[in-house]
C-alpha cells in the first residue's frame, strides 16, 4: 500500500499521477445514483463518520481510511431495490451481510483501496457479535463508525421532508440505547459529542454536504496513484455497473476490450488506447441510476422508462468530468450515444464534434450489446452484428471507417467483446 498509495499533498500537479480522493469522490456520485430518490447517502455517511473520527482524535491514516471506506461503503450495491431496502430501519444484520461482503471483495481487488476493504466488509456487523470480536480492533472501530452513521442516515431518510433538527433528540437517543449491542461505547460517545451541534445536522443538507466533505478530504493527506492504476479502479466500477442486471454481465468489460482493440487497429498510441479502455469500462456508470425493473423489463419500454435510460450517458459525463485528468475520458464516455448525423443523445453533437475514440466506443458499445442476450431478443453472431453496424452507418449513426475496421477483424472483435474472464485487459497483443 505504501508504495502505490504513497502519501503526498492533495492536488498533485503531476499529470501522470491522479489524486485518489478526487476520483473516489467522483465515483461516489455514481454510487449515490443507485439511491434513485435518496441521493448522497454515501456522502452523508462519510461526513458523519468523519465527524465522529475527528472527535475521537484518530490518527491521520485512520481518518483517511475511515473517509474512503465511508464514501465507498455501499459499493457492493448496484440494485436500486436493494439500496432502498438497506435504508429501511428494520433491516436485519443477516440481510445486509451480502452487500458488505461483495463491496469488500471488490475493493480488495484494487490495491490502493484494499486496506479499507475490511472496514467495508464489517459495516453492518453489530458490536456484540462474535464476528466483530474476531476482527482487528482498529478496523472494527472504524467499521462501527460507518455502521452508526449508516443507520442514522437510514432513520433520517425515513423523515425526509421534515426539519432534521426536530429529529435530533430522538436519533441521539436511538443510538444511545444501542450502546454495547449495535455500537461500541467509543463510537456512541463520539457521535453524541459531535452531533450535539446543530451544524452537524445542517451540514447534511445537499447544498452544504459536498463542500464539507471536500474540506474533510483536504484535511487528510491525499494519496495519489499512478495514472496506470486508473484502469484497475475503472474495472472495479465497471463490475459494479455490470452487476446491476443479469443481462449486462461483463458488458462494460467487453466494450472496454473491444474499444481498446479498435483503438490499436486505428493506430492509437498506448496511452490513448488505455484511456479508451477506461472510457469503455466507465461509459455506463450513469446506468446505476436506472431502476432495476426498467433494465430487466421484458416488454417494450414506455416513454417514461425510456427517458430514465436515456439520461445515463449524461450522468456518466457529469461524474467523470469532475476529475480534471479524466476530462478526455469523460467526453468519450459521455458521447457513446451520440451519432454522426447529430441525432444522438444527450448532446446532439455533430460529426465534426465527435472525436474518433468516442466513435469507436459507440461501435464497441453496440457490438457488445448485440452479442449479448437482452430481455427482448437472443444474442447475435458476428455476421449478424456486422449487418446491424453497417445499417447504423447507412443511417448516419456510426463511423464508417470504424465499422470497416470491425469488418476486417471480425473474429478478433467478436472475441474481444464476448470473452469472459480476462476482465477488460485482454487483447493487448496484436490482433492479427
- Binding-site ranges for Fe ion (CB under 5 A): 74, 150, 284, 365
Distances in Å between the alpha carbon of 382 and those of 261, 320, 412? 16, 32, 10
Which helix or strand (DSSP H or E) is residue 232 part of? helix 229-242
Q: Provide the H-helix boundaries in 19-165.
A: 20-33, 41-55, 60-71, 80-86, 93-108, 114-121, 130-134, 137-158
Catalytic status, residue 287: yes
CA 194 to CA 149: how far, in whole Å?
Answer: 12
CB-nearer residue toward Fe ion: 227 or 241: 241
Q: Which triple of cell numbers denotes residue 90? A: 428494520
Catalytic residue among 287, 297, 308, 343: 287
Angle formed by the axes of helices 251-265 and 400-408, nearest 10°: 90
Distances in Å between the alpha carbon of 206 and those of 46, 214, 286? 13, 13, 20
For residue 186, which of 94, 311, 56, 310 has the smallest C-alpha distance? 56
CB-nearer residue toward Fe ion: 75 or 135: 75
CB-nearer residue toward Fe ion: 284 or 292: 284
CA 359 to CA 403: how far, in whole Å?
Answer: 10
CA 109 to CA 162: how far, in whole Å?
Answer: 41
Write the DSSP symbol of residue 353. Answer: G
DSSP lists the bridge partners of residue 7 as: 223
| Cβ atoms 86, 99 nearer than 8 A | yes
CB-nearer residue toward Fe ion: 365 or 427: 365
Cβ of residue 130: shortest distance to Fe ion, in angstroms? 23
CB-nearer residue toward Fe ion: 220 or 284: 284
CB-nearer residue toward Fe ion: 46 or 188: 46
Cβ of residue 29: shortest distance to Fe ion, in angstroms? 15
User: What DSSP line would sit under 138-170, residue for residue?
Assistant: HHHHHHHHHHHHHHHHHHHHHTTTS-GGGTHHH
Active site residues: 287
Amino acid at each position: 500500500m505504501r508504495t502505490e498509495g504513497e502519501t503526498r499533498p492533495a492536488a498533485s500537479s503531476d499529470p501522470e499521477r491522479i489524486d485518489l480522493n478526487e476520483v473516489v469522490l467522483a465515483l461516489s456520485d455514481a454510487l449515490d445514483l443507485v439511491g434513485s430518490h435518496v441521493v448522497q447517502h454515501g456522502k452523508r455517511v462519510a461526513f458523519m463518520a468523519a465527524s465522529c473520527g475527528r472527535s475521537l482524535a484518530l490518527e491521520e491514516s485512520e481518518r483517511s481510511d475511515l473517509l474512503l471506506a465511508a464514501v465507498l461503503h455501499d459499493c457492493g450495491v448496484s440494485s436500486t431495490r436493494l439500496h432502498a431496502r438497506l435504508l429501511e430501519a428494520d433491516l436485519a444484520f443477516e440481510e445486509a451481510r451480502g452487500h458488505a461482503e461483495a463491496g469488500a471483495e471488490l475493493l480488495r481487488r484494487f490495491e490502493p483501496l484494499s486496506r479499507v476493504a475490511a472496514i467495508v466488509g464489517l459495516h453492518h456487523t453489530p458490536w456484540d457479535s462474535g464476528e466483530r470480536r474476531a476482527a482487528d480492533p482498529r478496523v472494527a472501530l472504524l467499521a462501527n463508525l460507518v455502521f452508526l452513521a449508516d443507520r442514522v442516515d437510514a432513520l433520517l431518510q425515513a423523515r425526509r421532508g421534515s426539519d432534521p433538527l426536530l429529529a435530533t433528540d430522538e436519533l441521539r437517543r436511538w443510538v444511545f440505547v444501542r450502546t454495547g449491542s449495535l455500537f461500541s461505547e467509543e463510537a456512541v460517545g463520539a457521535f453524541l459529542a459531535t452531533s450535539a451541534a446543530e451544524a452537524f445536522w445542517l451540514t447534511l443538507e445537499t447544498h452544504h454536504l459536498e463542500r464539507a466533505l471536500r474540506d474533510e478530504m483536504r484535511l487528510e493527506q491525499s494519496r495519489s496513484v499512478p495514472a496506470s492504476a486508473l484502469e484497475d479502479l475503472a474495472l472495479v466500477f465497471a463490475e459494479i455497473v455490470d452487476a446491476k442486471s443479469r443481462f449486462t454481465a461483463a458488458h462494460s468489460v467487453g466494450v472496454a476490450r473491444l474499444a481498446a482493440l479498435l483503438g490499436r487497429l486505428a493506430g492509437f498510441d498506448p496511452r490513448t488506447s488505455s484511456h479508451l479502455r477506461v472510457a469503455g469500462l466507465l461509459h455506463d456508470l450513469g446506468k446505476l441510476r436506472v431502476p432495476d425493473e426498467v433494465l430487466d423489463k421484458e416488454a417494450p419500454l414506455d416513454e417514461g422508462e425510456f427517458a430514465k435510460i436515456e439520461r445515463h450517458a449524461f450522468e456518466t459525463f457529469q461524474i467523470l468530468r469532475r476529475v480534471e485528468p479524466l476530462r478526455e475520458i469523460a467526453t468519450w464516455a459521455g458521447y457513446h450515444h451520440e451519432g454522426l448525423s447529430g441525432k444522438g443523445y444527450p448532446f446532439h453533437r455533430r460529426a465534426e464534434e465527435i472525436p474518433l475514440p468516442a466513435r469507436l466506443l459507440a461501435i464497441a458499445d453496440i457490438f457488445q450489446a448485440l452479442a449479448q442476450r437482452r430481455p427482448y431478443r437472443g444474442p447475435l453472431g458476428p455476421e449478424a452484428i456486422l449487418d446491424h453496424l453497417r445499417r447504423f452507418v447507412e443511417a448516419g449513426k456510426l463511423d464508417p471507417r470504424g465499422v470497416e475496421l470491425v469488418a476486417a477483424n471480425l473474429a478478433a472483435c467478436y472475441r474481444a467483446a464476448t470473452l469472459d474472464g480476462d476482465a477488460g485487459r485482454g487483447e493487448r497483443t496484436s490482433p492479427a
